[in-house]
Amino acid sequence: MVLKKFAPLLAVVFLGVSLSARADVTIGVSLPLTGPGVSLGLPSKNAMELWPESIAGEKLKLVILDDAGDPTAGIKNARKFLEEDKVDFIIASAITPPALAVSTVAAESQIVQISPSPLDLSPEKGDWTFRIAQNVPVVATGAVEHMQKAGVKTLAFLGYNDPYGESWLKATTAAAEKAGIKVVAIERFARADTSVAAQAIKVVISKADAVLIVATGSGAVTPHKAVLEKGYKGRIYHTHGAVSTDMLRLGGKDVEGAYAVSGFIPVAEQLPANHPSRKLALQFIDQYEKKFGAGSRNQFSAHINDILILLEKALPLALKQAKPGTKEFRLAFRTALESIGDTTVSQGQIPFSRTVHTGLDNRSVVMLKIQNGAWTLLPN
């Protein structure tokens, strides 16, 4: 009789417990939605519009803020995510400087950061940061190997004066030394610079067989045109950060014949039919371009799609161990990402493990050339 009397009340209590065990997975997202990195940030934000509303029965709540490519703004956003929004993990950022800044907050606060951009972090500093884009040493080695096969003996460096540029300089110098290529000029410029004429003159004076331009998106066009205007006649190489439709559109005939190391998305249709990433890449391109227009594909939006693929594997594992909104869930999510194993995504292979947080590996690198105004896949 007592049980019958209190049965409705008990049902409500148990229902309350069940509901309290369920909570939104809250994700803080910091992207350059204004400023010099906008051509990377906006496509990244666009790709998130294609995400499902939930994974493993838990609703995804995205809190998206603009970091304008500024490290200080990136840190401010990360602090807000933690203190006000109580996020479960952070995605930041589409360009390296703010992403690097956020990594310090991630390590201090012991919260997972997923970075769509490459970061050069020591194991202890990168213990809570997972990178998606190709590790800079991996892509730099691919570019230098192509130079070596082409007979390049001397190389000029023309790149950003920030962590992204410095990571490329360090990796390229090391790879060039092993390949017997001498770096004969090192010139830097700021992302917001509207002219690099002085640096371009020094590149031309060096008489290097090739120049590597380290810039991202549409920002790669200005230094490219500058070296041509100053009379440079050698080979021009770009990083994977420059491979975009914006570069083709703004560069026009001036960028014809340029080389770039890249991921798969710009040339997905040109991959072999049996390539493990081809189907995933084409599925993403079809979905993305139906919403945002033909030719709108790019590597940066694909990195966001690849994050989703990882979340669909890792979140169910983490949710079995703890509920969102807790420190236990943060640790469970990191452990899950480290345990999902080698994962095929639209841009290649990501081999996350307890000791590897560096994202796409050397199976995810191809060389491209701009031919007839389009990115063309070169033979391996």
Residue-wise pLDDT tens digits, 219-233: 999 999 999 999 999
The residues, any chain, with a CB within 8 Å of residue 75's CB and separated by 6 or more, are 98, 101, 102, 104, 105
* pLDDT given at position 17: 37
DSSP-derived secondary structure letter, 135: P
Question: 3-state class of 202 per DSSP?
Answer: helix
* pLDDT given at position 11: 39
pLDDT beyond 80 at 294: yes
For range 137-155, the mean pLDDT: 96
Give CA–CA dist 313/37, Å, rounded.
Answer: 30
Instruction: Express each pLDDT in 317-329 by its tens digit.
Output: 999 999 999 999 9
Higher pLDDT, 6 or 42: 42
pTM of the model: 0.86
The residues, any chain, with a CB within 8 Å of residue 84's CB and separated by 6 or more, are none
- Percent of residues, the chain, with pLDDT higher than 70: 94
pLDDT beyond 80 at 118: yes
Give CA–CA dist 45/275, Å, rounded.
Answer: 28
Give CA–CA dist 261/42, Å, rounded.
Answer: 22
Q: Beta strand 374-377 with 366-371: parallel, antiparallel or unpaired? A: antiparallel
* pLDDT given at position 16: 38
* pLDDT given at position 23: 73
Higher pLDDT, 51 or 15: 51
Q: Which among 263, 256, 258, 295 has a CA at the least distance from the CA of 281? A: 263
Q: Grade residue 4 by pLDDT with cuts at 50, 70 and 90.
A: very low
Q: Grade residue 20 by pLDDT with cuts at 50, 70 and 90.
A: very low
Give CA–CA dist 140/240, Å, rounded.
Answer: 9
* pLDDT given at position 120: 85
Task: Confirm if 221 and 251 have CB atoms less than 8 A apart.
Answer: yes
Task: Confirm if 90 and 106 have CB atoms less than 8 A apart.
Answer: yes
CA distances from 41 to 180, 198, 288, 312 (A): 37, 29, 15, 22
Q: Which among 145, 119, 127, 171 has a CA at the least distance from the CA of 359? A: 119
Q: Grade residue 10 by pLDDT with cuts at 50, 70 and 90.
A: very low
pLDDT beyond 50 at 21: no
Q: Grade residue 182 by pLDDT with cuts at 50, 70 and 90.
A: very high
CA distances from 247 to 185, 198, 322, 370, 376 (A): 24, 22, 45, 10, 14
Q: Which helix (H) or strand (E) holds 9?
A: helix 2-20
Could you tell me the domains of the chain?
2-134+290-364 (3.40.50.2300), 136-262 (3.40.50.2300)
For range 234-243, the mean pLDDT: 95
* pLDDT given at position 36: 85
pLDDT beyond 70 at 174: yes
pLDDT beyond 50 at 22: no
- 322 burial (CB, 10 Å; 0-12 / 13-18 / 19+) is middle
Give CA–CA dist 241/259, Å, rounded.
Answer: 13
